[in-house]
Amino acid sequence: MVIMDGKEVSEALKRKITAEVDKMVSAGRRRPKLVAVLVGDDGASQVYVGHKERACGQVGFDSEVVRMPASTTADELNAVIDRLNADDSVDGFIVQLPLPGHLSEEAVIERISPLKDVDGFHPETTGRMISGLDAYLPATPAGILELIKYYNIETAGKHCVVIGRSNIVGRPIANLLSMKGYPGDCTVTLCHSRTADLKEIVRGADIVIAALGKAHFVTADMIKEGAVVIDVGITRIADPSKKSGFRIAGDVDYDNVAPKCSYITPVPGGVGPMTIACLMQNTLKAAERRTKR
């Protein structure tokens, strides 16, 4: 059993990005720049944005966080998005989700220019990806593909079962892994809350991608001997023994599942670090596109 080490793989990816940035700077071009817009004071969002800023520093990007109060109006947020769309010094930007309830995430996502949509959530970006055209891949599915590539995991003709149909993880990774080429050419089954016989379906899988957000949902009896298991879940569980008061649990009952797997991602330290590295990769791509325009 091999543990897919997201820290190691993401560091390798970030080193590659850093090398590209060094080349850009040596060639007299400015550094890529990523901006994060953070509305309100959600604790987890603050942490994620902090991680993204730190990653920018690591790979040599300029970065900026635009902080706005929870009471921000749609017009105020739109004005910021419009400014960032127009600002030639910004290669890509994200609006950290979730937003306060009075703001429409859908409207915000659609207002971001597809050219700067490094989160890959804009419908045009999604459509380009689904149609097999060049596109910014959403960071979590992209991170899963990078892990598969790094460990040279065979995918052609394999049966991949994706649990969870979110627009951010489950649905895009199901589509990506069923496309032609590598990593892809999988037979993909997309499961969700309405799926009957989930256990039996997962038991037939060569590759399992758990992205439903329920701690330890995937148990050892659901896993075929030798399967590849990729765990996207991040659930906070109260744990008084920790300084923070909680620990992070994945969707997979790791201790019991791992012995049956050929490859498995831990939580934390699996898909999570890959997501941030892939956001950096999209931002690099945005910067490279800008200079080609």
Note whether 140 binds a copy of itself by CB under 8 A.
Answer: no
The DSSP-derived string for 176-204 is HHTSSSSS---EEEEE-TT-SSHHHHHHT
Note whether 282 binds a copy of itself by CB under 8 A.
Answer: no
Note whether 134 binds a copy of itself by CB under 8 A.
Answer: no
Note whether 116 binds a copy of itself by CB under 8 A.
Answer: no
From the list 14, 91, 96, 285, the catalytic residue is 96
Report the SS3 class of residue 45.
helix
Copy the structure tokens of residue 243.
């300084």
Note whether 175 binds a copy of itself by CB under 8 A.
Answer: yes
How far is the C-alpha of 135 from the C-alpha of 176, rounded, in Å?
12
- Whether the CB-CB separation of 263 and 229 falls below 8 Å is answered with yes
Among 196, 238, 255, 293, binds a copy of itself (CB under 8 A): 196
Using CB under 8 A, which of the segments 73-81, 171-179, 219-227, 263-271 binds a copy of itself?
171-179
Count of residues in the chain: 293
Among 10, 96, 125, 282, binds a copy of itself (CB under 8 A): 125
CB of 71 to a copy of itself, least distance (A): 27
75 as an active site residue: the answer is no
Note whether 94 binds a copy of itself by CB under 8 A.
Answer: no
Size of the site for a copy of itself (CB under 8 A): 36
> Is the Cβ of residue 14 or residue 122 nearer to a copy of itself in the bound state?
122
Among 57, 123, 226, 259, binds a copy of itself (CB under 8 A): 123
Buried b (16+ CB within 10 A) or exposed e, 92-101: bbbbbeebee
119 as an active site residue: the answer is yes
52 as an active site residue: the answer is yes
Note whether 220 binds a copy of itself by CB under 8 A.
Answer: no
Copy the structure tokens of residue 163.
């649990």
How far is the C-alpha of 184 from the C-alpha of 188, rounded, in Å?
10
Among 167, 219, 226, 237, binds a copy of itself (CB under 8 A): 167
| Footprint of a copy of itself (CB under 8 A) | 106, 122-133, 156-159, 165, 167, 171, 174-175, 178-179, 185, 187-192, 194-197, 201
- Catalytic center residues: 52, 96, 119
